[in-house]
């Protein structure tokens, strides 16, 4: 393993001892022992809480603390949500990053999709149509999120997946899943239909083009326009 020092006695200890995902870590009293971390109980608790917030460990009263499989999502989400709590304009900037990431990995992701994945994508389109055309109109946010994440599910890159999952968590947090006219939602799913059709036909370029056109719709949301104004203010501050 690389000799990288982390700003945490606990995380350095986990790496040094070679713990693997699923392994149970020593108890707090065991960790504070001089033969292990040799730090106070309060510091052990503090560092455990940081590790938990970063999604690195699972802490439960009955089963103890276990090392989790690595995921970039919790760290990105925590930092992103802090930024959004200070100014919603940051969402527009993160949205731009998400678009560039999806564009960069589009061809690789689409070529990895299986027939079962395509059937699943079709189910999301059909479910979304049913919600929009029902007697009581419902916003198909769950289907929207699942449709996009399914396209990239086979990428063996936790950092890409982490960024995309954090984006959809933020999308819901800033309530973009609520603010839009009916016509907007129907257009969104028309584009999803076009994306899926192109994918099934093996035309990744057409699918990518439809995706890019789809992302531009977001700027027409009233809620998004308010946040874009905030992003302009942030950018002006950065360039000053």
Q: Residue length, the chain?
A: 240
Mutual orientation of helices 182-200 and 141-151 as an angle, nearest 10°?
30
pTM: 0.84
Neighbour-count burial for 90-115, b at 16+ CB within 10 Å, e otherwise: bbbbbbeebbebbeebbeebbeebee
In a 3-state reduction of DSSP, which class is residue 88?
coil
Output the six-digit token pair for 211: 């995706």
Bridge partners (DSSP) of residue 58 are 66
For residues 186 and 203, give the distance between their C-alpha atoms in angstroms, rounded to a whole number: 23
Bridge-based pairing of strands 57-60 and 64-67 is antiparallel
Q: Greatest CA span in the chain, whole angstroms? A: 66
User: How many of the other CB atoms lie within 10 Å of CB of 226?
Assistant: 13
For residues 103 and 205, give the distance between their C-alpha atoms in angstroms, rounded to a whole number: 11
Domains in the chain, ordered, with CATH?
9-67 (1.10.10.10), 73-239 (1.20.120.530)
For residues 148 and 132, give the distance between their C-alpha atoms in angstroms, rounded to a whole number: 18
For residues 146 and 93, give the distance between their C-alpha atoms in angstroms, rounded to a whole number: 22
pLDDT, one tens digit for every residue, the chain (240 residues): 567 788 899 999 999 999 999 999 999 989 988 888 888 999 999 999 999 999 999 988 788 899 999 999 999 999 999 999 998 889 989 999 999 999 999 999 999 999 999 999 999 999 999 988 887 878 888 999 999 999 999 999 999 999 999 999 998 888 766 656 777 788 889 999 999 999 999 999 999 999 998 888 765 555 555 555 544 444 444 444
**DSSP codes of every residue in 159-190:** HHHHHHHHHHHHHHHTTTTT---HHHHHHHHH
pLDDT tens track for 79-133: 999 999 998 889 989 999 999 999 999 999 999 999 999 999 999 999 999 988 8
Bridge partners (DSSP) of residue 65 are 59
């Amino acid at each position: 393993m690389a000799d990288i020092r982390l700003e945490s006695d606990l995380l350095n200890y986990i790496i040094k001892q070679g713990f693997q995902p699923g392994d149970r870590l020593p108890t707090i009293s065991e960790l504070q022992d001089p033969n292990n971390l040799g730090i106070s109980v309060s510091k052990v608790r503090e560092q455990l809480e940081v590790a938990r917030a970063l999604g690195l460990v699972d802490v439960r009263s009955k089963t103890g603390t276990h090392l989790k499989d690595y995921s970039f999502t919790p760290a990105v989400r925590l930092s992103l949500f802090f930024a959004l709590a200070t100014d919603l304009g940051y969402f527009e900037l993160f949205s731009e990053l998400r678009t560039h990431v999806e564009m960069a990995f589009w061809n690789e992701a689409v070529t990895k999709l299986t027939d079962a994945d395509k059937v699943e994508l079709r189910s999301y389109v059909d479910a979304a149509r049913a919600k929009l055309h029902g007697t009581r109109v419902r916003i198909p946010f769950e289907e929207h999120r699942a449709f996009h994440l399914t396209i990239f599910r086979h990428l063996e890159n936790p950092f890409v997946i982490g960024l995309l999952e954090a984006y959809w968590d933020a999308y819901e947090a800033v309530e973009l899943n609520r603010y839009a006219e009916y016509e907007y939602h129907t257009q969104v799913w028309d584009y999803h239909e076009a994306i899926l059709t192109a994918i099934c036909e093996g035309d990744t370029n057409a699918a990518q083009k439809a995706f890019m056109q789809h992302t531009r719709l977001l700027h027409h949301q009233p809620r998004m326009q308010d946040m874009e104004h905030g992003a302009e203010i942030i950018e002006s501050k950065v360039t000053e």
